[in-house]
Amino acid sequence: MVKSRGGVVFRTVDDRVEYLIVKSSRGNYYGLPKGRVDGNESETQTARREILEETNYFVKFEVNFKEKVEFVLPEGEDKEMILFLAKAIKESSGEIDDEITEVIWCSYQEAMKLLSFDDFKDVLKKANDYINNNQLTFIESRCGILCTQCEYRESMNCQMCINIDNPFWGTCKVKECCENKKLEHCGQCKEFPCQLLESFAYDKGQGDDGKRIKQCRMWSK
């Protein structure tokens, strides 16, 4: 089984929603950014890496949107594609994958015309309906901190907990533990809230009086 992960990436410009479509030289088609699972990656780790490699955008994922598409490749192998809803937060200065020849921001209608396969169109339609009908809830960290509200994000040029391997201040045991368990955030853990997380949340100097634990509970609802 070939496993591929990626996302419907969007941004808002003056209240208009725009979607990111990529053109691949392999097969010469317009699609959504995605690619194969590498080693022991979790689903969103692959999606995040592939989106960054194919579009140069760091993203944050909407907690409750995940679409699975299954089909058989022309060579006869089964393929499973999982696509998340992801909001673009910042462009990276890196290089885009050679196999991507175009990265296009466009409206929903333009994207529906461009996409080469019905499977992609179905997922884009579901994502667009989801954006229009729901209050979006993005996971920003493993421990529940809202990185978008962090005073160090700009000054330390941090791409947020979910987009980095290690924080600027060293290695985070909570992040490491959560990612080793292949969880999106600690609220999904059977041991939540564990002693380690509590010690972070209620630390006298660095803690937030349990605010991050409450945030994880909200993400789990």
User: Where does this chain bind ligand SF4 (CB under 6 A)?
Assistant: 141-143, 145, 147, 161, 167, 172, 174-175, 177-178, 181, 183, 186, 189, 191-194, 196-197
Q: Which is nearer to ligand SF4, 17 or 183 (CB)?
A: 183
Q: Which is nearer to ligand SF4, 60 or 175 (CB)?
A: 175
Which pair of structure tokens corresponds to residue 186? 């600690």
- Nearest approach, Cβ of residue 33 and ligand SF4 (Å): 24
- Nearest approach, Cβ of residue 89 and ligand SF4 (Å): 15
Please give the Cα distance from 136 to 10 (Å, whole number): 12
Q: Which is nearer to ligand SF4, 134 or 199 (CB)?
A: 199
Please give the Cα distance from 138 to 85 (Å, whole number): 9
- Nearest approach, Cβ of residue 88 and ligand SF4 (Å): 20
Q: Which is nearer to ligand SF4, 82 or 197 (CB)?
A: 197
Q: Which is nearer to ligand SF4, 102 or 176 (CB)?
A: 176
Q: Which is nearer to ligand SF4, 17 or 196 (CB)?
A: 196
- Nearest approach, Cβ of residue 195 and ligand SF4 (Å): 8
- Nearest approach, Cβ of residue 58 and ligand SF4 (Å): 14
- Nearest approach, Cβ of residue 206 and ligand SF4 (Å): 8
What is the per-residue DSSP string for the chain? -EEEEEEEEEEEETTEEEEEEEEETTTTEEE-SEEE--TT--HHHHHHHHHHHHH-EEEEEEEEEEEEEEEE-TTS-EEEEEEEEEEEEEE-SSPPPTTEEEEEEE-HHHHHHH-S-HHHHHHHHHHHHHHHHS---EE--SSS--GGG-THHHHTT---GGG-SS-TTS--HHHHHHHHTT-SSGGGSTTPSPHHHHHHHT-TTT--TTHHHHHHHHHH-
How many C-beta neighbours within 10 Å does residue 136 have? Answer: 14
